[in-house]
Amino acid sequence: MQNLPRPLEIHVNIAITFSSTQEMNSVMNALIPDNVNFPSGLSMSIFPSKAGSRKKRLQSGSRSRTVVIKLTSTGQVSTLVNTLDELLEHASVASKVIH
């Protein structure tokens, strides 16, 4: 039996830093509803980054201004590229309307 080629597995990690935690939360929440129910072979998670160690965060009282988006694709590369394209465009739109 001939071996089928293994699908390409691509991981994309994006970190976007905003000017405040409030802006980061607003943008992150605005992106979530349109990024569910992906086609098979594509998955995404979106969450605030951990700004340094827990100890440092507690010491400085700082909160994250950075959102992390993780995309994993084992399907069509074009689907991944199109998703990424729209995602970044929407993050930019959200930031623009706040400013």
**By the criterion CB under 8 A, which residues form the site for other proteins?**
22-23, 25-27, 29-34, 36, 86, 89-90, 92-94, 96-99
> Measuring CA to CA, how many Å separate 16 from each of 27, 28, 35, 39, 41?
10, 10, 17, 25, 24
CB environment 62-80: b (16+ within 10 A), e (fewer):
eebbebbbebbbebeeeeb
Minimum CB distance to other proteins, residue 29 (Å): 5
Choice between 32 and 77, CB closer to other proteins: 32
Minimum CB distance to other proteins, residue 5 (Å): 30
Minimum CB distance to other proteins, residue 2 (Å): 38
Choice between 24 and 73, CB closer to other proteins: 24
